[in-house]
């Protein structure tokens, strides 16, 4: 082409057109490119190969469900993304650039935040102080904390979440469910591009879950990428765009949530098919193991009466705050009562402390295993045997280490606890395996009356089946068991009878063989006590 003015003008137009086309392609590539790319991540701990060439992609404006059994590597992978752990090898890209994330502060500065399954709050501080710890608004030339502004900012976040929490309330006085909401508020206080949620609904009511899902939808619309770790299949099917399944530290497969069946997800998680769970079988005895008459404590427990027979699993259902945990703690002597009677094996007893309860053959597995069930810096061996140390004491100075080792190892085998050995610090185990250690502690104590409060909280599908089998086996041996659970399928699966509570009262009792989720929820939403 000749170098004429017309030719030069045509060249300029063609060049501009090519440039526009290139810009559009680059823009589209930017939109389609993952927000986070993790490749070939390796991580070892003493005796544990936690991650093996793990992979993960997360796009802006999506919910990626990260699933797998306990010990599969989900939380470890996310702790690497958020700077808690450092990978032994592998690469991380954020917004197309390879990055190193040496600590959580660096991750937060990149817009990467996590809501941990285990609460990381300071109970003596207010909710607002917990949310803004280390970055409080200042006044007086930066010398003083602007408490009023901090409380107002916290209130704004709570309002956005549609929850009623006082910014000036001490966290230690809140329920576990409300502490979980404070954790969520803390993560939202940062301008997050990537938000990791590790079992965020494990302690929330249905209403609070609905508010959380609405919030997640808002965050997606803002382009936030969300990694959602959960064992609840209904949540995955409802909010996830894609599903990444991990097993034994490896990424097994990533699938679209739409069109992927629950049985397919479970098969990938556990590496085997799990049959449909059947309802509790076996006939409980007629001999009374525990009887509660007219138990009262303020507005939390209002005239609660029931009996528990040997060989029976008695389920307690109800919405969060119904009073189920409060009843369990009162029976076990953890909280005082205003009035009422407790009878153990036909004899009225006066239980003033958990020590009294244990001496009478009662055991209580708390819903908060981290604070009330375990001493996490201690070994698996010590945690399994801690409630039975008098059996292994040789005089006042020495413990029978070999006997403790042997019995702890037997429970590791029995419950399939994933740990390299019984000397492993319990804090290094996954949440589900920590729960199994707590169960082992009470099984070793050989208590006759067992109260399990949320026994499978944070436990995956495969481990749940193992716990269910274990509880049914204990009932077959004549143990009397109370199971408190927020998961209705679990209550229906395990219980011979089901007691339903609402606002501190018992609103009904159902036969476990004929009860339905609908019949339980009808009673759980009643406000007045119905006389049968």
> Which residues, in sequence order, are CB contacts of 149 under 8 Å at separation 6+?
137, 139
Could you tell me if residue 277 is inside a domain? no
Same domain, 220 and 336: no
Residue 10 binned pLDDT confidence (cut-offs 50, 70, 90): very low
Q: What is the dihedral of CA 201, 204, 207, 212, to 10 degrees?
A: -40
Question: In this structure, are 222 and 356 located in the same domain?
Answer: no
In this structure, the answer to whether residues 97 and 198 fall within a common structural domain is yes
**Which pLDDT band, with edges at 50, 70 and 90, does 295 fall under?**
very high
Q: Partners of 501 in the beta sheet?
A: 506
HSE (side-chain half, CA atoms, 13 Å) at 165: 35
Do 509 and 442 fall within a single domain? no
Contact 172, 184 (CB under 8 A): no
Whether residue 400 sits in one domain with residue 513: no
Residue 471 domain-assigned? no
Mean pLDDT value across residues 161-184: 87
Shared domain for 304 and 316, answered yes or no, is yes
Residue finishing a domain among 429, 446, 463? 446
User: What is the band of 346 on the pLDDT scale with cuts at 50, 70, 90?
Assistant: very high
Closest C-alpha among 424, 425, 527, 415 to residue 467: 415
Determine the average pLDDT of the residues in 81-91.
96
pLDDT of res. 414: 83
- Domain closes at, from 212, 238, 270: 270
Residue 334 confidence (pLDDT) above 70: yes
20 and 117 co-located in one domain = no
Q: What pTM does this model have?
A: 0.58
Cα 398 from Cα 434, distance rounded (Å) = 27
Are residues 337 and 387 both part of a single domain? no
My answer on whether 56 and 116 are in the same domain is yes
Residues 65 and 202 in one domain: yes
pLDDT in tens, 227-280: 999 877 888 889 999 999 999 899 999 999 999 988 888 788 877 554 445 666
CATH at residue 520: 3.40.50.300
Give the tokens for residue 432: 């589900």
Same domain, yes or no, for 121 and 58? Answer: yes
* Number of domain units in the chain: 4
Give the pLDDT confidence of 12-27 residue by residue, as tens digits: 444 444 443 434 433 3
Residue 510 covered by a domain: yes
Domain carrying residue 27? 1-32
Domain annotation covers residue 92: yes
Residues 257, 109 within the same domain = yes
Taken in order 368, 316, 491, 314, the sign of the CA dihedral is positive
Q: Is pLDDT at 75 greater than 50 in this prediction?
A: yes
Would 276 be classed as within a structural domain? no
Work out the angle between the directed axes of helices 461-476 and 431-445 (0-180°, nearest 10). Answer: 10
pLDDT at 2: 47
160 within a domain of the structure (yes/no): yes
> What are the residue ranges of helices labelled H in 369-496?
369-372, 380-385, 401-415, 431-445, 461-476, 488-494
Q: Is residue 462 part of a domain?
A: no
Residue 473 inside a domain? The answer is no
């Amino acid at each position: 082409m000749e170098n004429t003015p017309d030719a030069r003008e045509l060249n300029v137009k063609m060049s501009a057109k090519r440039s526009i086309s290139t810009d559009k392609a680059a823009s589209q590539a930017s939109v389609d490119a993952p927000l986070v790319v993790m490749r070939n991540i390796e991580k070892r701990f003493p005796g544990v190969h936690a991650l093996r060439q793990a992979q993960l992609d997360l796009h802006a404006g999506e919910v990626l469900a990260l699933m797998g059994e306990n010990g599969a590597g989900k939380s470890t992978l996310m702790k690497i993304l958020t700077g808690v752990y450092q990978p032994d090898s592998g690469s991380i890209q954020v917004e197309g650039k390879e990055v190193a994330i040496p600590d959580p502060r660096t991750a937060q500065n990149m817009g990467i935040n996590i809501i941990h399954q285990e609460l990381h709050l300071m109970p003596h501080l207010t909710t607002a102080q917990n949310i803004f710890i280390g970055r409080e608004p200042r006044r007086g030339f930066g010398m003083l904390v602007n408490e009023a502004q901090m409380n107002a900012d916290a209130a704004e976040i709570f309002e956005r979440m549609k929850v009623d929490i006082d910014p000036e309330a001490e966290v230690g006085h809140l329920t576990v469910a409300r502490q979980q909401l404070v954790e969520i508020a803390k993560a939202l206080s940062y301008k997050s591009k990537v938000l990791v949620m590790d079992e965020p609904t494990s302690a929330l009511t249905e209403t609070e879950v609905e508010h959380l899902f609405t919030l997640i939808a808002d965050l997606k619309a803002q382009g936030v990428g969300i990694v959602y770790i959960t064992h609840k299949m209904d949540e995955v099917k409802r909010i996830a765009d894609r599903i990444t399944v991990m097993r034994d530290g490896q990424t097994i497969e990533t699938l679209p949530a739409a069109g992927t069946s629950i049985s397919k997800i479970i098969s990938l998680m556990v590496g085997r098919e799990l049959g449909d769970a059947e309802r509790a079988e076996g006939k409980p005895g007629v001999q009374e193991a525990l009887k509660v008459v007219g138990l009262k404590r303020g507005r939390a427990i209002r005239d609660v009466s029931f009996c528990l027979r040997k060989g029976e699993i008695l389920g307690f259902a109800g919405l969060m705050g119904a009073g189920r945990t409060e009843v369990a703690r009162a029976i076990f002597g953890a909280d005082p009562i205003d009035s009422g009677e407790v009878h153990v094996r036909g004899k009225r007893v006066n239980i003033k402390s958990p020590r009294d309860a244990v001496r009478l053959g009662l055991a209580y597995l708390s819903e908060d295993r981290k604070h009330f069930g375990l001493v996490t810096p201690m070994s698996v061996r010590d945690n399994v045997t801690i409630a039975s140390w008098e059996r292994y004491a040789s005089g006042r100075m020495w413990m029978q280490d070999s006997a403790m080792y042997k019995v702890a190892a037997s429970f590791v085998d029995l419950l399939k606890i994933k740990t390299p050995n019984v000397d492993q610090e319990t804090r290094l185990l996954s949440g589900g395996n920590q729960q199994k250690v707590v169960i082992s502690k009470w099984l070793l104590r050989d208590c006759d009356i067992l109260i399990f409060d949320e026994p499978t909280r944070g436990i995956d599908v495969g481990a749940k089946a193992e716990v269910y089998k274990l509880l049914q086996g204990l009932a077959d041996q004549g143990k009397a068991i109370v199971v408190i659970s927020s998961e209705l399928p679990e209550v229906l699966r395990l219980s011979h009878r089901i007691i339903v509570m609402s606002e501190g009262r018992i609103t009904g009792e159902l036969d476990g063989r004929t009860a339905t989720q609908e019949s339980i929820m009808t009673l759980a939403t009643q406000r007045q006590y119905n006389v049968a």
